Amino acid sequence: MLNFYKLKKDYLRFDGNERLDLINRLSTNKVDELDRLNCAKTVLTTDKGRFVDLITLYNFGDFVFAACSFNNSKQVLSHIDKYTIMDDFKALDMAGTHETILFLVEGSENFAKKTFGVELNSLASNDFSIFIENNCHSLIIRNDDELGGFLFIYASKDKVFWEDKLGLQKNCAELLDKEYEIKRIEYGIPAFGKEMTELTNPLECGLNQYVSFTKGCYIGQEVIARLDAYDKISKHMVGIKLINEIPSSSVIGEIKIIRDDKECGFVTSSVMSNQFGYIGLGFVKTIFLNYNKDYKIKINNSLINCKLVKLPFRIN
């Protein structure tokens, strides 16, 4: 049976003649020439190259519809407003107005073709399709991370219509938050507020595909360009095999990874996987990174053995 998960996202709308130019000057990817009905992911970074958010831009031609992390639209808008001076640019917070469903890869191609007449393979990872029925609009986007499948975005006011149209209760099985978290960690997908924080940058999270090294200046560009040019990335996101799951109440960055009695990193996420046991994601300083070495996790002054694993877990 096809699996789906209701992703939690905030949404924004950008208007004005300089809407793409401004985002291009504030974020890591080249988006100023984004074509109509194309989408692109780009990272808004601080002047130190750290995360404000990973956002997705959907270009409708006369405006841009954008997705950002859940409960983060106000921070994104505040950051953009800080650098908006004389630009022809207007932003609207649309948090709570739309719903997002991720249909996971197995069976998703047949489902998309049967339900919407959309061939997922014909959609590049930076294209989206508009589907309209009964005056209700929706977007279909081929998902570009390791989970694959496709995203389905629709207005919250049309929820009853779309859930009936999709036959979610009959044709699909919904993943619980814990089940999705297991898959996310198994596939090594960083999450905002866990791996993507003010402690990390896009290169440390392995998000190089959303960073242009040729487009020129943006906020944080000097830091990120220097890290890339001189191979100076200070830490890397890794998989961790644990003996026990780390308490969910733990503060990000406070559970340390130890090697040779020295703190060399920190844990950001952990779950119990049926296939791999207790696993997690975290960051280890580059000078200490060796997948053949033994490591320990420090929790409440206790040391627990662990192993580092190259991501994603599913290919190891």
**Is 26 domain-assigned?**
yes
Task: Tell me what pLDDT residue 109 has.
Answer: 93
Would you call the peptide bond into 312 cis, given omega within 30 degrees of 0 as the criterion?
yes
CATH classification of the domain holding 157: 3.30.1360.120
Can you tell me the distance from the alpha carbon of 129 to that of 106, in angstroms, rounded to the nearest whole number?
20
Same domain, 191 and 148: no
* Spatial contact of 51 and 223, defined as CB atoms under 8 Å apart: no
Report the DSSP pairing between strands 64-69 and 9-15: antiparallel
Residues 168 and 298 in one domain: no
Average pLDDT rounded to a whole number, residues 53-79:
98
**For residue 21, is it within any domain?**
yes
**pLDDT value for 252:** 56
Q: Hey, what are 204's tokens?
A: 């440390």
Answer whether residue 229 is part of any domain: no
Taking only the tens place, the pLDDT of each residue in 200-220 is 999 999 999 999 999 989 999
The answer to whether residue 17 is domain-embedded is yes
144 shares its domain with 47: yes
The verdict on 100 and 128 lying in the same domain is yes
In one-letter notation, the amino acid at residue 251 is: V
pLDDT at 283: 97
pLDDT exceeds cutoff 80 at 298: yes
Q: How many domains does the chain have?
A: 2
- Ramachandran area for residue 280 (φ above 0: left; ψ -120 to 50: alpha; else beta): beta
Long-range contacts of 251-254 (CB under 8 A, 24+ apart): 252/193, 252/194, 252/197, 252/199, 253/197, 253/199
**β-sheet with 2-7: strand ranges across:** 128-133, 136-142, 150-155, 98-103, 2-7, 172-174
120 secondary structure, DSSP code: G
Task: Examine the domain organization and report whether 169 and 192 are in the same domain.
Answer: no
7-64, pLDDT tens digit by residue? Answer: 999 999 999 999 999 999 999 999 999 999 999 999 999 999 999 999 999 999 999 9
Query: Above 60 in pLDDT, residue 249?
Result: no
Verify that 147 and 290 share a domain, yes or no.
no
pLDDT mean over 128-156: 95
pTM over the 0.75 mark: yes
Residue 275's SS3 state is coil
The upper half-sphere exposure of residue 316, i.e. CA atoms within 13 Å in the direction of its Cβ, equals 18
Instruction: Please enumerate in sequence order all residues whose Cβ is within 8 A of that of 278, keeping only pairs 6 or more positions apart, or say none.
Output: 241, 242, 243, 244, 245, 270, 271, 272
Range in 152-156, 219-223, 272-276, 300-304 with the lowest mean pLDDT: 300-304
What local confidence, expressed as pLDDT, does residue 304 receive? 87
Q: Among 98-107, 154-163, 227-236, 247-256, which is the least confidently predicted range?
A: 247-256
Same domain for 166 and 51: yes
Is 25 part of any domain? Answer: yes
Average pLDDT, the chain: 93
Q: Which of 105, 140, 175 is the last residue of a domain?
A: 175
pLDDT of residue 281: 95
Residue 23 lies in a domain: yes
Q: Is the pLDDT of residue 6 over 80?
A: yes
Confirm whether 121 is domain-assigned: yes
The CATH number of the domain holding residue 284 is: 2.40.30.110
Write out the residue range of the structural domain in which residue 245 sits. 185-200+234-315
| Contact (Cβ atoms closer than 8 angstroms) between residue 103 and residue 149 | yes
Residues 113 and 190 in one domain: no
pLDDT band at 193 (very low <50, low <70, confident <90, very high): very high
Lowest mean pLDDT segment, chosen from 7-21, 153-167, 248-262: 248-262
**Residue 229: per-residue pLDDT:** 80
Give, in degrees to the nearest 5, the angle at Cα 258 between 252 and 263: 70
Residue 227 lies in a domain: no
Residue 253 has pLDDT above 70, yes or no: no
Q: Locate the DSSP E strands across the chain.
A: 2-7, 9-15, 39-45, 51-59, 64-69, 90-93, 98-103, 128-133, 136-142, 150-155, 172-174, 235-241, 256-259, 262-273, 277-285, 295-299, 302-309
Whether 139 and 196 map to the same domain: the answer is: no
My answer on whether 19 and 147 are in the same domain is yes
Q: Are residues 26 and 157 both part of a single domain? A: yes
- Structure confidence by residue, pLDDT tens digits, 100-128: 999 998 899 999 999 999 998 888 767 89
CB 195 within 8 A of CB 284: no
Which pair of structure tokens corresponds to residue 175? 């993943």
Do residues 162 and 88 share a domain? yes
Final residue before a domain boundary, out of 125, 140, 175: 175
